[in-house]
Amino acid sequence: MSDELTEMTRQRKEAHAEFLARESAVYRAFLDMERAAFADGVLPRKAKELIALGISVVINCESCMQWHIEQAATAGASEAEVLEAIEVGIEMGGGPATAHSRFALRTIAAVFGPADPP
């Protein structure tokens, strides 16, 4: 994993621990909502992670992109499925989302390995 992604993961884990240590009721409610939202249902967790990834590209949330790429991979998504979810985000967000997706491409390389040369 790149230094950038390692640092982002460290910061996310640190903030998570801090919110729990401070007994944040809102943060705990958010975690409960997250568990419910991403649980297998009519849509499997993998599909939900891919949807969230596309949204993350549109709103330019790098931490969200990293998290949902990693979670999608853990849920069984292939690199091609992850890329397609990013492409849907690009279509929905236009030019700005294309620029935002550069971070997602770096994350794909860290999670799945570098792309094969054309």
At a CB cut-off of 8 Å and minimum separation 6, what does 1 contact?
9, 110, 111
User: With bands split at pLDDT 50, 70 and 90, how would you rate the model's confidence at 118?
Assistant: confident
Note the pLDDT of residue 1.
63
Mind giving me the DSSP string for 59-107?
HT-HHHHHHHHHHHHHTT--HHHHHHHHHHHHHHHHHHHHHHHHHHHHH
- Report the chain's mean pLDDT, rounded to a whole number: 94
Report CA Rg, the chain: 15
Task: Tell me what percent of the residues of the chain surpass a pLDDT of 70.
Answer: 99
pLDDT tens readout for residues 11-66: 999 999 999 999 999 999 999 999 999 999 999 999 999 999 999 999 999 999 99
- 108, 82 Cβ separation under 8 angstroms: yes
Q: Sketch out the chain's domains with CATH numbers.
A: 3-111 (1.20.1290.10)
- What predicted TM-score, i.e. pTM, was given to this entire model? 0.89
